[in-house]
Structure 1
């Protein structure tokens, strides 16, 4: 259907961001851009097809907002998680530099262009925001938010409003020690905290839902150029290739292959994978299996009822394929890490929401994911749920809507969506005898009696306190219990508190020894590579207060735990 010309009030705006002598100027005008032979094109000929919510076409890159937000483990909060073009171009900059972007938007639609000094990183359920800025253009308004790398929220927020039409000109100038934003008679001034001091610029783009009932949501990035000014430089750098050098003979993956053909896996964060060269090389060199740490959790992959975001999961799956690694998908159904819209859904709608989600996500990765955590952490942390004949199931949105049968339905839906994948139930605290292990055996017995297509159980093995200690004899007994039920086992998420280092090394080695000794133990996976990006990093800390639970330290150097694992694999 042809749209009436008045129904689409297109506004072409060029946003200019200039960094001069430590000061930034941002201006928006009616489509004009500096005529500078030094400018490089960051849009044409570069990859914008993997930016969440983006569609590349002959007129530029169409941006539709996904509304991604990150809730806390208890389901509260909602930290914004706007997209970043992880697989696309970035800039290497030095000295004064200017960036221009063409924006074509309908009336009532906001357009957001973000420039990050480094990629934001998601540490479990918290997004660490590096220095950067976001420019937002709306009808008659230009706003600027500046992050200084010291907190989740912008350190500076400024906006200029006016009665001028949407075709007006907005100018933001950073010069003489001031960042000045002008629109009509309104003027605002701020100081730059050094958003590009890293020498790199990564790009993001987002949109808010359209406020016009007749106009389509979204906007178009029609151009993006950068140039050095007054001795500065700006160079476009495309994202690195996914394939990495072959692993060496002393790597974990080569030693494990020689010992028992045991996959040695690792949970991987999508955000730093193509921004941190050492992180990327370490993953490909040491591990033969990859677990999607956050990218396939419901709140990341399904941010809105009608919107899926497969960009992070696709990056991890493509990286694994390029480096001969299997993929373990984490996770289809979880009582935590659910977007707000899922949490707020009426109980009567939840079963269909869950089934549709499994069908879409597992179907999207059919044939690319070897294994799934279909149901994650179904057992309760409340002792009362184990008393007086209680089954020990955790009470959450899925269990409250369907009772225990949510597990049956989830596994059946996963088998239908991805028949070739192995299907796992995953939980913590299974390494010790007690009520959790007894409750799990009871649950598995009932599932088997009902014909639920479950293939195995993941033992998270988070060793964070003295009471979490793993003993080889108990772990091997539990693996044997599963074997008698015809089920596989896997060490799925091991990380170990690192004080003392010798104790950490012993616990990593003990779990691996038990796995190697059990024919039905199918893989051994650490919950992260390096403390630099470990999930035990304390939320909300700037700079991040990282943990010490993984086998490589924050500088990517191997710890005693890594050496202990290689010794076990060498026999």
Structure 2
């Protein structure tokens, strides 16, 4: 039914209800269109893709789209295509991308909810049992100083046992303040070091895909929509290196990068 504004003659929105079968067909076609065109357009430029992002609930079960508090921009493929939506997504990404592309599945809170970690790993197994291939599991790791270190170790052990490449995909360590003390900065550096050391200890070298820090600096403009009034990164609000910077640099390099450093860049 249409509604019209008598003063302007404008026609209001039109709602056309679709059957469940029609919705499935439309959403399936939309997925094919989106992935095929994205992969084809960037085929020569991008060689690693986050194909399926945040598919698992906190208890390890799959998101099904049945939610009561959904943000206006949230969408769950599983609501329309069932649990095999990820199978199709990975098959499409492989079909239209390069055979050597690394295809990711990625989620958060895997270190705080080990049941969620198990659920993600089990979903990877399911996807592959249906004939698709997942190359990399990403663990976001938005953590704090109080995050249980024992669970961090257990998470990496579980992920390593999957046999997949493992990436820390969005690491940050919040302090609960935008004006940290020297002690808090030192503690933050120690936690960054613990995470990197644990990753390198429990993830075999052949499975280490890398570590990405979520943000660049603590400048408020960079994270006004994520962790506002916080200081989670390795540069401060003025883009000066924090205590954590050296820890991260040393951890990634596997050595003291400042030792014997002349200041000259190496070619």
TM-score (norm 2): 0.71
2:209 corresponding residue in structure 1: 522
Counterpart position of 1:366: 43
1:371–1:526 Cα change, 3 Å: same
Match for residue 555 of structure 1 among 235, 238, 243: 238
CA distance in 2, matches of 1:534, 1:490: 27
Distance across 2 between alignment mates of 1:554 and 1:478:
36
The one-character-per-residue Cα deviations of 1:494-522 (angstroms, maximum 9, x if unpaired) are 01113522232122212222333322011
Measured after TM superposition, the shift of residue 535 of structure 1 is 6.0
How much has 1:570 moved relative to structure 2? 1.2
Q: Distance in 2 between matches of 1:416 and 1:550?
A: 37
- Aligned: 1:425 with 2:105: yes
RMSD of equivalent CA atoms: 2.6
Which structure: larger Rg? 1
SS at match of 1:501: helix
Please report how far the alpha carbon of residue 468 of structure 1 lies from its aligned counterpart in structure 2 after TM superposition.
6.4
More moved, 426-435 vs 455-464: 426-435
Q: Taking structure 1 as reference, are residues 421 and 395 closer, same or farther at Cα in structure 2, changes over 3 Å only?
A: same
Cα gap change, 1:450 to 1:533, in 2 (>3 Å)? farther
**Compared with structure 1, are the counterparts of its residues 468 and 370 closer, same or farther at alpha carbon in structure 2 (3 Å cutoff)?**
farther
Are 2:135 and 1:455 aligned? Answer: yes
TM-aligned CA deviation for residue 408 of structure 1: 0.3
Structure 2 unaligned spans of 5+: 1-9, 11-21, 66-75, 177-183, 257-267
Report SS of the residue matched to 1:466.
coil
The answer for the alignment partner of 1:151 in structure 2 is: none
Structure with a larger share of its residues in strand: 1
Q: Is the 8 A contact 1:355 1:413 kept in 2?
A: yes
Give matches, 1:370-409, under 5 Å. 370-381=47-58, 383=59, 392-396=61-65, 397-409=76-88
Counterparts of 1:470 and 1:505, CA distance in 2: 18
Q: For residues 345-364 of structure 1, what are the structure 2 equivalents within 5 Å?
A: 346-364=23-41
What is the 5 A alignment of 1:2-401? 346-381=23-58, 383=59, 392-396=61-65, 397-401=76-80
Contact 2:107 2:138 in 1 (8 A): yes
- 2:219 is paired with a residue of what secondary structure? helix
Q: Within 2, Cα distance between the matches of 1:469 and 1:535?
A: 28
Q: Deviations over 1:399-444 (max 9, x none)?
A: 0111110000001111112123100100011224632022122212
| Structure 1 portions without partners, runs of 5+ | 1-210, 212-344, 387-391
1:491 and 2:176 are equivalent in the alignment: no
Does the CA contact (< 8 Å) of 1:472 and 1:514 recur in 2?
yes
Give the number of equivalent residue pairs: 213
Compute the displacement of 1:476 (Å): 3.4
Kindly indicate whether the alpha-carbon contact (under 8 Å) linking 2:107 and 2:139 is maintained by their aligned counterparts in 1: yes
Which one of the candidate residues 196, 200, 204 is aligned to 1:512?
196
Greater helix fraction, Structure 1 or Structure 2:
2
